[in-house]
Structure 1
């Protein structure tokens, strides 16, 4: 259950299932899938290999983006990070264009939407973060918040957030 959770782009598999409609909540901590989350700012992209095998976009609400852009940790209460994932599919046309297969794209959605929600008081036992997962067409169950937190504990120095804000082009290199 968590975006960025069980591997905010990192790895992991803390799974809590719920409806994918904006406003749906996870019963364990009343975490709602925010309306408009797909319009949030991109934090980073990630390629998850192994048994998970997906391509991820990590998005953040305004509070998360402001802190991450400045490298300010811990993130403030109210920060929310979302992880979207898709299959990692070969782009068939790339072999025609380049004479070999080399391009891959996001395919079908995978592993629902995962969220990390910062509230240092409410989620004190898990480093200040609540975790949730929303899967289409499935009823929700309670995620093991401590299992999600255990995976994220390896990045305690970054407030339990796997991904960093993706760097932009160096100043002066923009066309």
Structure 2
């Protein structure tokens, strides 16, 4: 009986690690988070220079902290920024709608691990192939450089949207 229990535990461990191993991994070791489209929407945005329609989603830790106004966000917070190329709606040309998927980016809060980048780890995955961005882990300097103007907001451009 003990052998069966040990074999089952080993099988579950291997099966559980398989899904993580199938996910793309950024050069700094951050893997694509599965289920990020099931997280709560934090805010929409439009990036004019890229022509991207975006939504930012957050895991439960991030959303709870944003709603409470907690800054800095606690460790374990993860935000996903999902981007599509903007295009005109074919039947209603005054409407701009999401077209082709462009990328998904992640910000992962761990104040100790990512101390050099304001407590945030960054990852970007491009196109339908979800190709990890960056030749090496140094790509995060580019991400962090863009986020330094909002250092007083825990390096976040996004603020949670409110509705009545």
In the superposition, the TM-score normalised over structure 2's length comes to 0.79
- Does residue 70 (structure 1) correspond to residue 49 (structure 2)? The answer is no
Q: For residues 149 and 42 of structure 2, what CA distance do their matches in structure 1 show?
A: 19
Report the alpha carbon displacement of residue 33 of structure 1 after superposing the two structures with TM.
Answer: 1.1
| Contiguous gaps of at least 5 residues in structure 1 | 1-20, 95-100, 170-175
Tell me what 1:5 maps to.
none
- Does residue 116 (structure 1) correspond to residue 107 (structure 2)? The answer is yes
Which residue of 124, 139, 142 corresponds with 2:136?
Answer: 142
Q: For residues 167 and 25 of structure 1, what CA distance do their matches in structure 2 show?
A: 33
CA-based RMSD: 1.7
Which residue of 69, 83, 89 corresponds with 1:91?
Answer: 89
Aligned residues, how many? 140
- Does residue 104 (structure 1) correspond to residue 73 (structure 2)? The answer is no
Report the alpha carbon displacement of residue 139 of structure 1 after superposing the two structures with TM.
Answer: 5.9
| Contiguous gaps of at least 5 residues in structure 2 | 1-20
In the superposition, the TM-score normalised over structure 1's length comes to 0.74
Is the 8 Å Cα contact of residues 22 and 35 (structure 1) preserved in structure 2? Answer: no
Report the alpha carbon displacement of residue 146 of structure 1 after superposing the two structures with TM.
Answer: 1.9
Q: For residues 157 and 116 of structure 1, what CA distance do their matches in structure 2 show?
A: 16
Point out the structure with the larger helix share. Answer: 2
Which residue of 147, 153, 157 corresponds with 2:152?
Answer: 157
Which structure's relative contact order is higher, taking Cα pairs within 8 Å and 6+ residues apart? Answer: 1
- Which structure: larger Rg? 2
1:110-166 residue CA offsets vs partner (Å, 9 max, x unmatched): 1x2111000000000100001111124346532521221111011111100111001
Tell me what 1:173 maps to.
none
Is the 8 Å Cα contact of residues 22 and 34 (structure 1) preserved in structure 2? Answer: no
